[in-house]
Amino acid sequence: MESDYLPISKNFATLSIHSGNTGEDSEYACVVPPIVSSVNFRLNFSLTEDSISQKYTYSKIANPTRNNLEQCLATLEGAKYGLCFSSGGGGLSSLLAMLKPGSHIICNNSIFGGTVVLLNNIANSFSFTTSYVDMHNLENLVNAIQPNTALIWTESISNPLMKVADIKNISRVAKERNVLLAVDNTFLTPYFHRPLELGADIVNYSLTKYFNGHCDIIMGSLLVNKKELYDKLSFIQCAMGIVPSSFDCAEMIKSLKTFALRMKQHSINAIKVASQTSGHSGMVSFYINGDLKQTKQLLNNFKLIIPTTSFGAIESIAEIPLLISQSPVPSKQRDPKVTNNLVRLSVGLENDEDIINDLDQALNSL
Supply the minimum distance, in Å, between the C-beta of residue 133 and ligand PLP: 18
Q: Kind of pairing, strands 202-206 and 81-85?
A: unpaired
Piece of 15-23, 81-89, 225-233, 358-366 that binds ligand PLP (CB under 6 A): 81-89
CB atoms inside a 10 Å sphere around CB 256: 22
Q: What does the angle CA 98 – CA 201 – CA 108 come to, to the nearest 5 degrees?
A: 85
Backbone dihedral angles phi then psi of residue 241, each to the nearest 5 degrees: 70, 30
**Is residue 88 close enough to count as binding ligand PLP by CB under 6 A?**
yes
Smallest gap from residue 163 Cβ to ligand PLP (A): 12
Residue 361 CB neighbour total at 10 angstroms: 13
Per CB under 6 A, does 212 bind ligand PLP? no
Find the shortest distance in angstroms from Cβ 209 to ligand PLP.
Answer: 6
Query: What is the smallest separation between the CB atom of 120 and ligand PLP, expressed in angstroms?
Result: 15
Rounded to 5 degrees, φ, ψ at 30 are -65, 140
- Strand 342-346 and strand 180-184: the pairing is unpaired
Q: Residue 195 contacts by C-beta under 8 Å, 6 or more apart in sequence?
A: 156, 167, 183, 185, 203
Say how far apart CA 62 and CA 60 lie, in whole Å: 6
Q: Does 86 interact with ligand PLP (rule: CB under 6 A)? A: no
Binding test (CB under 6 A) with ligand PLP, winner from 75, 186, 246, 301: 186
State the nearest-atom distance from the C-beta of 193 to ligand PLP, in Å: 13
Residues in region 301-340 near ligand PLP by CB under 6 A: none
Residue closer to ligand PLP by CB (options 113, 336) is 113
Interface with ligand PLP includes 77 (CB under 6 A)? Answer: no
Alpha helices in the chain (DSSP H): 12-18, 64-77, 88-97, 113-121, 138-144, 167-176, 189-192, 227-239, 246-256, 259-274, 292-301, 352-364
**Exposure class string for 69-91: b at 16+ Cβ within 10 A, else e:** bbbbbbbbbebebbbbbbbbbbb
Q: Which is nearer to ligand PLP, 159 or 295 (CB)?
A: 159
Measured distance CA(93)–CA(20) in Å, rounded = 26
Listed in sequence order, the residues at least 6 apart from 59 whose beta carbon sits closer than 8 Å to its beta carbon are: 36, 38, 39, 40, 66, 243, 246
**Is residue 218 a contact point for ligand PLP (CB under 6 A)?**
yes
Candidates 110, 208, 246, 267; binder of ligand PLP (CB under 6 A) is: 208
| Residue 245 binding ligand PLP, by CB under 6 A | no
Site string for ligand PLP, 96-115 (x = CB under 6 A): ----------------x-xx
- Cα separation, 38 vs 47, whole angstroms: 25
**Residues 114-133 as x/- pattern, contact with ligand PLP by CB under 6 A:** xx------------------
Residues 155, 201, 248, 251: which binds ligand PLP (CB under 6 A)? 155
When CB distances to ligand PLP are compared, the closest residue is 88
Q: With CB under 6 A as the rule, give the number of residues binding ligand PLP.
A: 15
Which C-beta is closer to ligand PLP: that of 23 or that of 244?
Answer: 244
Q: Which is nearer to ligand PLP, 248 or 319 (CB)?
A: 248
Nearer to ligand PLP, 97 or 218 (CB): 218
Instruction: Say whether residue 240 binds ligand PLP (CB under 6 A).
Output: no
CB nearer ligand PLP, residue 75 or residue 206: 206
Residues near ligand PLP (CB under 6 A): 87-89, 112, 114-115, 155, 159, 184, 186, 206, 208-209, 218, 220
